[in-house]
Each structure stands twice: as structure tokens, then as C-alpha cells.
Amino acid sequence: MSEGGGGLTPKQRELAEQGLRLVPIIAREMVPKLRKHFNLEALLSFGYEGLTEAARAFDAPLLHDKRAFPRFAKHRIRGAMLDAYAREVAEQERVSTLCRKAGLSFRERQRRQGDVHTDLDGKAEERLLDYTGGLTGSLFAAALGVIKAANPEEAILVSPYIHKGTVFRSEGKQPYDHTSLIATILKWLGLEKIADFGERTIGAPTFEGVLTLSEPRTDAREIPFLLSEEKKLGDPLRYYDRFCLQGKSGKKVSAAEYRGKIIPGDPVREYFPTMGDEGMMLHVENADDRPSTEMVPSGVGVKVITTDPKVGAYNVLGDWKDAVDCYYYNDYLTGEYDAQETWVIRRADGGSQIRFGDEVTLACRYKDQVLEENGTYLKVNSGSTANWKVLPPPRSA
């Protein structure tokens, strides 16, 4: 968001102006916690975006209370910064997971040979991110990057847009290496003559001639390491595995509804999960060790994340003080809000490992109240023993 509040109505802009002073205050507070990933300028940008969303979500009837909006906005501002952090961490983990599935430990390679992304002067990746806005991560996720083999002139390129069994070689003296990724992205963006990346990147062979298919291949089932993505009843549940959650009624946690917190006409609205016949894909993350992709044990604290596209960054299920029903909100890393969106998952039969097909309870860590159905919505109840069934995604159920 710019300080001008572009895209807002006059009343929303008036609200945003009330909260402008909060953004630099909160950004400076968050810099020590997130400096590894973002500088102050980046946090200010995320904060202004959060302020804009707060102004849109807060209705004008409460304008007479000059303290109401700043109280509301500070949580959205801080949440937007934490959202950006969560996306950054998730992208790093996604790349790392894909590399591990291909038989290579991403972190071990970094320890053994240094940063696999950098050029000779150690700054190419930083400059690449400046120019491409993070396209590096997308390319790595799509193609697993360039994974150097024992022979330094050999590499593996994985993409559904490559003909099966393709073997290719560099046509020049310079072999394929990590600078080929940088050169390929720059070429796609029309930036191939940027001297900042060094002569090695400018002269690196590129990959566009290998990606020759107009439609992605559909023979993924022949790739052994992808078979693990197909889940069936009895398989162990891992962090980040997609699943559906079915209640006692037979309904599943479904799409979110954007409504008022207390009543439909409430001026402050949030995304509330609903119960329905079509389950929305969920996944859980270890609340105390986010990068973990291990199997989920019974009794651990997790964050329940929806994949519902319309909720955007407000995708973490929480039990909040200001509403009877549970709703999705920003991801918090510490404090009371973190506890309100952390759920202790336990197998109903007392087993030690969560598996697909198990019945489980989900108790909010904040007050140890159990998640249960509340008609169309979800709520917590201190006396509840409600069980939920963990089901595989529909395509493999």
C-alpha cells in the first residue's frame, strides 16, 4: 500500500489515515525478529498492505469511535508482516522437500559445496531476486533446479514440459550449472545482457531449448518418488500432507464463508469455515517446528491450514475471543494469538501416530477446548469429546 491509500473508498481512506502511524512503529518492532528474511523497507511495504486490507474489512458505522480502527488495524498490520515471513519459509521448505524427493539433501549440499544458488562473487542470487521478484523459487519448484551430479559436466533437469528420456548437453565450452538457471530466467524476462551477474552467467547455456512440450506430461505415476503423494487409509499423516476433515455428522470442513463475527450484519467480517459435502483440502504444520515434514505424532501442537483460495493469507484456523465460531486468520508465531490458533491433535483410540482414516480430537492449546461442529460452522467446547476423521484427498480416497 502507498500512503495515499490507492484503491480505497473515501471512507476507507479516512480509516487508513488513522492507522498510518502504526505501520512504522510495528515494522521497527518486527525487524529484530524477521531481519534474516526482510529489511525495514520490506516490512513497511507488507504493513501498508495489511493496513489497506484492514480498512476494507472494517465498516464505516464505527468511524465515530476513533480508537476502534487502530486497535483492529494493528493486528492486520502485524499479521501481514508475519504472513510474508510464513510464505518465505514455506517456499524454502517446498524447494528443499522437492530436492529431497529427488534423492538429494538440499541442506547437505549447502554444507558440502556452499550455496547452490550463488555465482562466483556470492551475490548473484540476491541480484536475481531483485530483478525477478522471486521467480527463482518458482522455477526451482517447477523443475527442481539444476542438481549437479558427481561428474561436474552432468546435471538433472526435471519438468513435465520435457520429453521423457531426453538427454541434452551444452553446445559450448561452458557446462550447465547453477548459473544456467539464472541465465534462463533472465532470458525469459528479456534481461539477458545484465552485467551485474558476471561473465559466467552471461555466457551460461540456457534451458529453454529443452522445454519443448506445449502441454505438461501426464505420466507422473511412473516416477517412483511421486507415488508417495498418493495417500490411502492407514498411511501415516505427515506435516504438509493434504487431507479432508470429516465430522460426526458425515459433513466435511468445507469452503469458508466471509461473514460478520457475531451476526451476519456485524461490520467486522472474517472467513469462517463451513461444513459441507465437498471437503476443502487442509494440512497441518508443526506449531513448534515449522519446517518439519516428519510424521505427525498424537499429542503434538499443530496449525490447521486451509487451501481455500479465497481466504488468501488469512488461512490459519483459530479459536478467537471475539466470536463464537472459529475462523481463519493470520499466522502468529508467539504469544496469546499463537496459542489461540494452535491445536493439539490426538488419536481417539490412544495410538501414537496419526494416520489417514484415524479419528482424532483437536483441542485448542489456549483453553484446552475441543473443536466440534456447530451446525454449519465450527466452535470449541470444554466438555466436548467430538472426533474428526482424517481422510485422504478425494482423488486418492
Classify 72 as helix, strand or coil: helix
Q: Which CATH number fits domain 10-94: 1.10.1740.10, 1.10.10.10, 1.25.40.90, 1.10.238.10?
A: 1.10.1740.10
Cβ atoms 143, 157 nearer than 8 A: yes
Q: Averaged over 257-278, what is the pLDDT?
A: 83
Query: What is the tens place of the pLDDT at every residue in 102-116?
Result: 434 344 444 444 443
Set of cell numbers at residue 206: 540456457
Q: Which helix (H) or strand (E) holds 78?
A: helix 68-101
Q: Averaged over 158-177, what is the pLDDT?
A: 78
Beta strand 359-364 with 316-318: parallel, antiparallel or unpaired?
unpaired
Cβ atoms 48, 76 nearer than 8 A: no
**What is the value of pTM for the model shown?**
0.48
Strand segments (E) across 332-387: 343-347, 359-364, 369-374, 377-381
Highest mean pLDDT among 75-79, 222-226, 244-248: 244-248
Residue located via cell numbers 499423516:
237
Domain ranges of the chain: 10-94, 102-227, 231-396
Query: What is the tens place of the pLDDT at every residue in 6-49?
Result: 467 888 888 888 888 888 888 888 888 777 778 888 888 888 88
Q: What is the fold, at CATH topology level, of the domain defined by 231-396?
A: Trefoil (Acidic Fibroblast Growth Factor, subunit A) (2.80.10)
